[in-house]
Amino acid sequence: MQKHNVLLEKRACKHLEKLSEDVCDRIMEALYTLREEGFSGRLNIKKLQGLRDQYRLRIGRYGALFELRPGRTIVAYAVLPRKAAH
């Protein structure tokens, strides 16, 4: 049973299209883990300061920015190089 619904905004999909296939695969694997296990200790997740219900998931040199929404829904809205995703 999956814990959350994970959705990608169009902007995040465009960011993923620009990345190499292996990096894209690692990011998608991390998002799959987030969907199945929620805020697992296996993932490097931090809350973004000053923003309500918004988090950063670190995947190597990249970060996926996402927000929690009602109904156990996670919406990833950006995938950026780590320095830009803070």
Token pair recorded at residue 8: 């990608």
Structure tokens at 9: 């905004």
Mean pLDDT by 10 residues, the chain (86 residues): 84 92 93 90 92 92 93 92 68
Q: What pTM was computed for the model?
A: 0.86
Cα(47)–Cα(52) distance, rounded to whole angstroms?
9
Tell me, what's the pLDDT at 40?
84
* pLDDT at residue 39 in the model: 87
Domains annotated on the chain, with CATH: 5-81 (3.30.2310.20)
Using CA atoms, how far residue 34 sits from 18, 47, 50, 69, 81, in Å, is 22, 14, 22, 14, 19
